Structure 1
Amino acid sequence: MDDQVLAAMARWPNVPAVRGWLSLSARGQWRLHPHGRGWDTPDEEPGETISSPQIIGFIGRNYLADDAGRWFFQNGPQRVYVRLDGAPWILGMDADAQGRSRLRTHTGQDYGPVDHWWLDPGGRLYARSAAGAGLVNDRDLGRVVDALRTADGQPLDDWFERPDPAGISVRLDSGDPGCSAARTPMGLLAADAVEATLGFVRLP
Structure 2
Amino acid sequence: MDDIVKQALAKWPNVPDCYGWLGLDARGRWYLRDDATQAAGPFPQSKGQLLEHDKLIAFIARNYEADADGQWFFQNGPQRVYVELEATPWIWRVQPDFTLRSHTGQAEEGGDALVDAQGRLYLATALGVGLVHSMDVALAAEAVESGRWSVREVQASDLPARYRYVPSPQARWAGEGP
Q: Superposed, which structure 2 residues align to 1:32-47 within 5 Å?
A: 32-35=32-35, 37-38=37-38, 43-44=41-42, 45-47=46-48
Name the count of aligned residue pairs: 166
1:43-93 CA distance string (max 9 Å, x none): 444211100000000000000001111100000000000011011110112
2:21 counterpart letter in structure 1: W
User: C-alpha separation between the residues in 1 aligned to 2:87 and 2:55?
Assistant: 23
Contact 2:23/2:86 (8 A) holds in 1: yes
Contact 2:23/2:85 (8 A) holds in 1: yes
**SS at 1:199 equivalent:** coil
Contact 2:13/2:78 (8 A) holds in 1: yes
Contact 1:21/1:36 (8 A) holds in 2: no
Q: TM-score, normalised by structure 1?
A: 0.75
User: C-alpha separation between the residues in 2 aligned to 1:42 and 1:54?
Assistant: 28
Q: Where does residue 160 of structure 1 map in the other structure? A: none
Closer/same/farther in 2, CA of residues 110 and 141 from structure 1, 3 Å limit: same
Q: CA deviation at 1:191?
A: 2.5
Q: CA deviation at 1:148?
A: 1.9
Q: CA deviation at 1:113?
A: 4.4
What is the aligned-residue RMSD (CA, Å)?
1.8
- Runs of 4+ aligned structure 1 residues displaced above 3 Å come to 41-45
Instruction: Give the greater-gyration-radius structure (CA).
Output: 1
Q: TM-score, normalised by structure 2?
A: 0.86
1:110 aligns with 2:107: yes
Contact 2:23/2:47 (8 A) holds in 1: no
Q: CA deviation at 1:198?
A: 2.1
Match of residue 188, structure 1, among 137, 153, 163: 153
Unaligned runs of 5+ in 1: 150-154, 156-169, 173-184
More helix by share: 2
**Identical aligned residues as a percent:** 42
Q: CA deviation at 1:118?
A: 1.0
